[in-house]
Amino acid sequence: MRLKIVSVGEAVLRTKARSLSIEEIRSTYIRDLIEHMRETLHDAPGVGLAAPQIGIPLQLAVIEDKAEYHAALSDTELVERERRPVPFHVLVNPHLQLLSQPEVLFFEGCLSLPGFTAVVPRASKVVVGAFDHIGKPVHIEATGWYARILQHEIDHLQGTLYVDRMLTRSFSSLENYNRCWKAKSRNDLERELGVPEAKLLT
């Protein structure tokens, strides 16, 4: 069942989500919710979906970066972004630790802010501790684009959106992004938007 994705302006997107108990994680309700979130993520399509994005303030997110999503990127772009396929998995009650400064610049979008994108500085390396879909503890060490996805989704669970972290001068409609920015490299972004501005956000 495809769930409705709420858009920016909804209070649930600005509220810190509630943690789940192990009993809740193993409940039929959460199992069914995870499956519905997976279907919604695939249908969107997207690489991550947090429970607040479907109007439910729980510390729960699903992530999957399919290889087919990479087809529009060149080999150079994939290497520059350090983007590799990530299999479907669930994060419950995640805790994020940044292992590098949030100064890697790339455009991000969000299913709750359709039609727009902006450059967001993110850490290139992170560690995440969480529970999986059956309440088993998991430890994730991630780099590159996977680290970016984790930061974006865990932000959602804290009531934070990418617009809170973006370089405001880069905020763009998707139409103008495709026309003016899509072909630019990371070095181009750093030169045109200014790395010093990004470092002020660390």
Place of tokens 């590799």: 84
**Could you list the residue range(s) of the whole structural domain that residue 108 is in?**
11-199
pLDDT at residue 44, as a whole number: 96
Q: Is residue 113 part of a domain?
A: yes
**How far from the centroid of its chain's Cα atoms is residue 5's Cα?**
15
Residue 27 falls within a domain, yes or no?
Answer: yes
pLDDT of residue 200: 35
Q: Would you say residue 6 lies in a domain?
A: no
| Residue 5 within any structural domain of the chain | no
Q: Using an 8 Å Cβ cutoff, are 143 and 99 in contact?
A: no
- The per-residue pLDDT string of the chain (202 residues; one tens digit each, 9 = 90 and over) reads 889 999 999 999 999 999 999 999 999 999 999 999 999 999 999 999 999 999 999 999 999 999 999 998 899 989 999 999 999 999 999 999 999 999 899 999 999 999 999 999 999 999 999 999 999 999 999 999 999 999 999 999 999 999 999 999 999 999 999 998 888 887 888 788 775 444 433 3
Q: Which entry of 64, 108, 153, 190 is annotated as an active-site residue?
A: 153
Number of domains the chain is built from: 1
Q: Indicate the burial class of 57 (C-beta count within 10 angstroms; 0-12, 13-18, 19 or more).
A: middle
CATH number, domain of 74, equals: 3.90.45.10
Q: What share of the chain is helix, strand, coil (3-state, %, to 5)?
A: 40, 25, 35
Whether 68 sits among the annotated catalytic residues: the reply is: no
* Residue 58 located in a structural domain: yes
Q: Quote the CA–CA distance of 186 and 172 in Å, as a whole number.
A: 17
> Is position 46 within any domain?
yes
Q: What is the pLDDT of residue 47?
A: 98
Overall residue count recorded for the chain in this entry: 202
Task: Identify the pLDDT of residue 193.
Answer: 79
Residue with tokens 């039929």: 28
User: Is pTM beyond 0.75 here?
Assistant: yes
Alpha carbons 69 and 195: distance in angstroms, whole number:
28
